[in-house]
Amino acid sequence: MARRFRFALKPVLRLREMVEGRKKKDFALANRAVDEERMRRQSMQHDREETQENVREVYAQGGDFERIVDMYRYINSLDLQLAKNSRKLADLNAVRDQKRNDLVVAQKERKALELLEDKRREAHQRDSARQRQNELDALAVQYKQHREMEE
């Protein structure tokens, strides 16, 4: 009877699967941080556009000069925040790219072990089939010898 297939590197494969799971979570968190920062940027750009439109309206209506100056100060502060956001977004994109690369490496390492497991399983099945065939051949030879002795 053939022995069952046992992959000796199964614990390593499980470890690599766990590492890949962690890398997926890390990538998802980095991706989420990029998305949130991008949404913050869109919100600031929207506020800037609205404030710029308000300045035009107040100026067209001959509004208070102090109010217009305050709006321009707010626009300037938004411009500074947008510049900071741009740098932060670039940093977050770099982190996300690194997390993606880490995930790809972890996936390749897991797939390599899975391929090795498949190859070893196939080799085991071939060996088992060869062993069964040898046993059947031996039984056939014994049967033939037994029949010849009886005759």
The count of structural domains within the chain is 1
Q: Residue 148 has what pLDDT? A: 85
Domain-located, residue 36: yes
The pLDDT value given to residue 1:
56
- What is the Cα gyration radius of the chain? 35
Contacts of 10 by beta carbon, 8 Å cutoff, 6+ apart:
117
- Predicted pLDDT of residue 2: 64
Domain CATH number, residue 79: 1.10.287.1700
Mean pLDDT, consecutive 10-residue stretches, the chain (151 aa), reads: 83 95 97 97 97 91 88 95 97 98 97 95 93 91 87 71
Considering only CA atoms, which of 81, 92, 80 is closest in space to residue 37? 92
